Amino acid sequence: MKITNIETTLLHNPNGTPIQDATIQSPAGNAGRGQLFVHIFTDEGIEGLGMTYPSPGIRDVINNALKSVLIGKDPLDIEKIWNDMYWKVRGYGRKGIAFCAISAIDIGLWDLKAKIVNLPLYKLLGSYTDSVPVYGSGGWTNFTEKELIKEMTDYVEAGIPRVKMKVGKDFGKSEREDIQRLEAVRNAVGDDVAIFIDANNGYYRKQAIYMAREFEQSQVGWFEEPLIPDDVKGLAEVARSSSIPIATGEHEYTKYGFRELIERAAADIVQPDIGRVGGVTEWMKVTHLAQAFNLPVAPHALQLVHLHVACATPNLKVVEYMNIALEGDEIWYTDFPKQKKGMWSPFPDKPGLGLELDHYSVSKYAI
């Protein structure tokens, strides 16, 4: 079998919920929701589907740099193809958009491989379980307190006993409001629901340590991205100073970036993003690295792909389940699995990721 062509599809729904967090400044500028898809065609008629974020430049890297690496190759040679892509972008792609491009293609290759052997991806990877816990994620800073509480309690009423909300409002300048909003959510959901908080890089080092002590009063399950991801030394200091586990990694790339995070004790919970870290190939290596240090994994976003790799991860903590992602998933795909009572399972009888793009949505939302 040979790869014959690589194509991309960029979809955008202009009616997605506007969002804002600590470091996303304007919800008006973040309305709508998009997804970039990669199609890998073969001479035997089997197609692989990959995906990542719709950030500027990713499509260009796929079409003008990586496509030539894949044409004519055996799609089962995933490690070799990954290595060839890595070196193709070595001068400009150790992090950022080039790695998102590699990630999308790698996801597509694994989807293709699972389809070739007629297995769901999680079974091909060597499943540890067929059902994983999820947490309801959102709680954006542009939500009013009433809207915030409604989203969090809606997740709980849907059977999800874990939720995540944003803090670090206004680049960390609204400390009292952060504390009050967290207290309001705790009072609304009760003591038996786990609450995770995400600062999206919005605090400074000492500020994060101080805020962590305040957040401890509300029984916080983890404190995510308290600082900018490049301040690894600072993250380690926050982790040492707080009883709340520090979760981070969504903006890290490759196993080498995670090696530094872990070696420097800057992450208590490791959060690789399969759409950035290097696809399935690199994501699994990161989780194995975390396991060697006895650390749990809680993947960030791109939830329908993470569902499969999470089922093959013994040191999994929980999978993110986001309302804003569901808005897009309901449009892009003909069908996809839904969580039930806080647990989530892939389709057991559909090969690969088990996902198929809706042709009507492609014609309506394609850019």
Q: Is 73 a residue whose pLDDT tops 90?
A: yes
Phi, psi of 57 (to 5 degrees): 95, -25
- For residue range 247-267, list pLDDT tens digits in order: 999 999 999 999 999 999 999
Across-strand partners of 279? none
Structure token digits, residue 258:
């995670």
- Between the CA of residue 322 and those of 139, 301, 355, what are the distances in Å? 10, 7, 18
Of 113, 115, 123, 166, which is the active-site residue? 166
- 37's enclosing H/E stretch is strand 33-42
3-state secondary structure of 84: helix
What does the longest C-alpha to C-alpha distance in the chain come to?
60
Answer yes or no: do 129 and 108 share one domain. Answer: no
Answer yes or no: do 23 and 85 share one domain. Answer: yes
Residues 316, 272: Cα–Cα separation, whole Å? 11
Active site residue 166: yes
Answer yes or no: do 189 and 290 share one domain. Answer: yes
- Between the CA of residue 18 and those of 168, 321, 363, what are the distances in Å? 18, 17, 24
| CATH number of the structural domain spanning residue 224 | 3.20.20.120
Asked whether residue 316 is domain-assigned, the answer is yes
Of 300, 306, 308, 350, which is the active-site residue? 300
Answer yes or no: do 111 and 11 share one domain. Answer: yes
- 224's enclosing H/E stretch is strand 220-224
Measuring CA to CA, which residue among 321, 327, 331, 281 is closest to residue 301?
A: 321
User: What local confidence, expressed as pLDDT, does residue 336 receive?
Assistant: 98
Can you count the helices (H) and strands (E) in the chain?
Answer: 15, 11
Confidence band (pLDDT; 50, 70, 90) for 94?
A: confident
User: What local confidence, expressed as pLDDT, does residue 29 receive?
Assistant: 58
Domain count, the chain: 2
Answer yes or no: do 294 and 329 share one domain. Answer: yes
Asked whether residue 353 is domain-assigned, the answer is no
- For residue range 213-259, list pLDDT tens digits in order: 999 999 999 999 999 999 999 999 999 999 999 999 999 999 999 99
Asked whether residue 352 is domain-assigned, the answer is no
Answer yes or no: do 114 and 129 share one domain. Answer: no
Asked whether residue 65 is domain-assigned, the answer is yes
- The boundaries of the domain holding residue 244 are 124-344
Q: Is 2 a residue whose pLDDT tops 90?
A: yes
Asked whether residue 35 is domain-assigned, the answer is yes
- Percentage of the chain modeled with pLDDT above 90: 96
- For residue range 20-41, list pLDDT tens digits in order: 999 987 666 566 889 999 999 9
User: What local confidence, expressed as pLDDT, does residue 25 receive?
Assistant: 76
Answer yes or no: do 82 and 181 share one domain. Answer: no
Buried b (16+ CB within 10 A) or exposed e, 96-106: bbbbbbbbbbb
Residues 347, 47: Cα–Cα separation, whole Å? 18
Asked whether residue 48 is domain-assigned, the answer is yes
